[in-house]
């Protein structure tokens, strides 16, 4: 595959590739989809709209895996939890893009800032949703959060390696938003 892909098609391809990569991690970690990692990578390398589409696609894929393969109960509370996770994934994507747009030009700093913003927004949205949906409040203990940060950080490094490896193979990069200069 060469760089003959249009930038729109390349962005769609990247959304699909990263959704498939997230599906693999979802299966490996029993439905712990790495939404903050995906959001950070998208914020650093994709347009905001594509980052939101990636969050939605990964969220839908995660729910299909959960309900179809991992035996999630088919009750209203579990469905509401899935919707809340999807909303939180989008919140993380938007937060990551907002943070990266204001971050220093260093690619590593932009990725780190995007990851931090995505993780905080994702968890905050889940915490807010827990007020309406029972069962979402768990997992906010310091030890659990630390493990999730480390796991998502490791997955982010893996996704970044995958991203650069696929580009090195000749696949076009996704569309990116113009970089804003922060004075």
> Whole-angstrom Cα distance, residue 163 to residue 94?
20
Percent of the chain's residues with pLDDT above 90:
59
Look at residue 178 and tell me whether its pLDDT is greater than 60.
Answer: no
pLDDT band at 109 (very low <50, low <70, confident <90, very high): very high
> Whole-angstrom Cα distance, residue 43 to residue 48?
7
Contact between residue 158 and residue 40 where contact means Cβ atoms under 8 Å apart: no
Is residue 181 a part of any domain in this protein? no
Predicted structure pTM score = 0.87
Look at residue 176 and tell me whether its pLDDT is greater than 70.
Answer: yes
pLDDT band at 85 (very low <50, low <70, confident <90, very high): very high
Is residue 179 a part of any domain in this protein? no
Q: What is the pLDDT of residues 122-168, one digit of tens each?
A: 999 999 888 876 655 566 788 889 999 999 999 999 999 999 999 99
DSSP 8-state secondary structure symbol assigned to residue 170: T
Nearest to 37 by CA among 147, 119, 120, 146: 119
Is residue 42 a part of any domain in this protein? yes
Query: Taking residues 13-32, what's their average pLDDT?
Result: 87
Query: Taking residues 16-35, what's their average pLDDT?
Result: 87
Number of structural domains found in the chain? 1
Query: What was the pLDDT predicted at 25?
Result: 87
> Whole-angstrom Cα distance, residue 120 to residue 92?
8
Look at residue 28 and tell me whether its pLDDT is greater than 60.
Answer: yes
CATH of the domain at 36: 1.10.1760
Query: What was the pLDDT predicted at 134?
Result: 63
Look at residue 77 and tell me whether its pLDDT is greater than 90.
Answer: no
Question: What range defines the domain where residue 147 resides?
Answer: 7-168
Query: What was the pLDDT predicted at 116?
Result: 97
Is residue 94 a part of any domain in this protein? yes
Burial of 143 per CB tally in 10 Å (0-12, 13-18, 19+): exposed
Is residue 173 a part of any domain in this protein? no
Is residue 95 a part of any domain in this protein? yes
């Amino acid at each position: 595959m060469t760089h003959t892909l249009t930038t729109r098609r390349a962005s769609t391809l990247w959304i699909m590739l990263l959704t498939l990569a997230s599906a693999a991690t979802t299966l490996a970690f029993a439905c712990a989809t790495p939404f903050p990692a995906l959001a950070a990578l998208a914020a650093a390398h994709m347009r905001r709209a594509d980052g939101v589409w990636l969050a939605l696609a990964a969220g839908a894929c995660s729910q299909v895996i959960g309900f179809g393969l991992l035996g999630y109960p088919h009750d209203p509370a579990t469905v509401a939890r899935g919707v809340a996770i999807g909303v939180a994934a989008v919140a993380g994507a938007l937060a990551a893009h907002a943070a990266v747009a204001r971050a220093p030009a260093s690619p590593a700093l932009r990725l780190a800032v995007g990851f931090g913003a995505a993780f905080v927004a994702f968890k905050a949205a889940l915490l807010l949703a827990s007020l309406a949906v029972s069962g979402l409040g768990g997992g906010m203990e310091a030890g659990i959060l630390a493990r999730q940060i480390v796991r998502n950080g490791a997955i982010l490094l893996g996704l970044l390696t995958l991203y650069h490896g696929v580009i090195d193979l000749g696949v076009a990069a996704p569309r990116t938003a113009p970089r804003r200069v922060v004075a």
